[in-house]
Amino acid sequence: MKTEKQKMLSGELYRASDSELVADKKRSREAARRFNQSLPETEEWKTALRDLLPNAHDSLYVEPPFYCDYGLHVTIGENVFMNFNCTILDVAPVTIGNRVMMANNVQLLTATHPLDVQRRVFDLVEYGLPITIGDNVWLGGSVIVLPGVTVGKNSIVGAGSVVTKDVPDNVIVAGNPARILRELTAEEVAERQD
């Protein structure tokens, strides 16, 4: 029989009140408290960030405050920057590629709830769907990425957008819901060779 944590990570309905999940959240909250009260680039900041996001590359830079459910289910590539007040609800896996830029107030929300009132309100179960952010993505201020969404490599999501469905590679999207405004030109996606 699966544990509630196994159910959670596989996208099945689960109970967030499970003792193992509560313990994981407590660990995360303690690491977040230490991180959010530290000064950037101090040893305390680095240690708290590693404790909070153990599957992140050492080059990750996050401006406090930062919030997440667990932190354990977030994988982050090289040279990622997150500005003030970013939130990641990682009840499902969150994968962030290399060289991603996240402006202030960005939210990556894997958590969701059943539409059925009995399950949602009375059974108190929920579930999550993974989020993937490709290499070289720029998420503007206050962008919200909803459960199950992939943002393709090199793409740009305009400030204030709500991303409800997958975004292809090499485009600019904006709005609520986010829609493609245009494709990036070959010059805009060309990688530096120096």
**Residues with active-site annotation:** 113
DSSP state of 69: S
The helix or strand, by DSSP H or E, that contains position 103, with its residue range, turns out to be none
Contact 161, 178 (CB under 8 A): yes
Distances (CA, A) of 84 to 5, 143, 171: 29, 13, 25
Contact 18, 3 (CB under 8 A): yes
Query: Which burial class, exposed, middle or buried, applies to 104 when counting CB atoms under 10 A from its CB (0-12, 13-18, 19+)?
Result: middle
